[in-house]
Amino acid sequence: MLFHRGTPVWEELNSFFVNADRLLLFLKNHQFTGYVKIQDNDVLYLILIDEGDVVAAASKEVTDKIGIPMPVNDILAAAAASDESSTLSIYELSTELAGIFTKIYHTECEVLHKDLHSDFSDIPKFLEKMQSTHFSGYIHFDFIKIDKHGIIVLEEGKVTSLLSHKIELTESDPDNAKTKLMNMIISESNINGAVFNIYQFAD
């Protein structure tokens, strides 16, 4: 699950002693933009918030590479039932970056291709086809030989945002910078191997 840390607000609180409903109300009243991360044993929960409103939520097992959209009420129930070993952290994000993650973890994304391997797939050709068909969605890369990830987001066939383990580029960034980072992600896939998944945004 590729989430940038953002700016820490609170970290590693013991979630056993935190009332999650009151916390979300506090964040709403302060028009907070960012995410709440709950680590409960082998499961990671994320609640994404934009200007105080919960806009997306996801969970993942430690062994999984990609998060699964999940109703926020289920996450709050899991947090309430967690033991004293679980932790809760809050990180602030820019509105633009929060908007990207909202789309990525939206429940209405459709999986088009899953677990494709860079050794047997031509990534530039996939991107070429997506651009020519005005595709809207994203590609999630999980590199095999190194513990890094990458995401390429497209809107109507145009690359609008890219995320790597260190760099984030959004719509306001120059196209040449996006092209450079996109080529870096593709190069990383060729050098270190990658498993990638393609998701389409719902209309």
Q: Report domain extents, the chain.
A: 7-104, 110-200
What pLDDT is recorded for position 62?
Answer: 45
CB-based contact 106:115 (threshold 8 Å): no
- Give the up-direction half-sphere exposure of residue 192: CA atoms within 13 A in the CB hemisphere: 19
What count of residues does the chain have?
203
Tell me if 135 sits within 8 A of 128, measured CB to CB: no
Q: Find the angle CA(145)-CA(150)-CA(155) to the nearest 5 degrees.
A: 150
Instruction: Identify the pLDDT of residue 27.
Output: 93
Q: What is the C-alpha to C-alpha distance for residues 141 and 101, in angstroms, rounded to an integer? A: 15
pLDDT 10s digit of each residue in the chain, 203 long? 556 668 899 988 887 777 878 888 999 999 999 999 888 777 788 888 999 988 887 777 644 445 555 667 777 777 666 666 788 899 999 888 887 887 777 657 788 888 999 888 889 998 999 999 999 999 999 888 887 888 999 999 999 999 887 788 888 888 999 999 999 999 999 899 999 999 898 77
Say what the pLDDT of residue 202 is: 78
- Distance of alpha carbon 107 from alpha carbon 101, whole angstroms: 12
Give the per-residue pLDDT at 106. 66
Three-point CA angle 131, 98, 132, nearest 5°: 5
Query: Tokens in use for 88?
Result: 């809760």
pLDDT value at residue 55: 84
Write down the pLDDT at residue 131.
92
pLDDT of residue 30: 94
Per-residue pLDDT at 72: 74
Q: What is the pLDDT of residue 65?
A: 46
**Cβ atoms of residues 2 and 151 within 8 Å:** yes
Q: What is the phi-psi region of residue 160: left when phi exceeds 0, alpha when psi lies from -120 to 50, beta otherwise? A: alpha
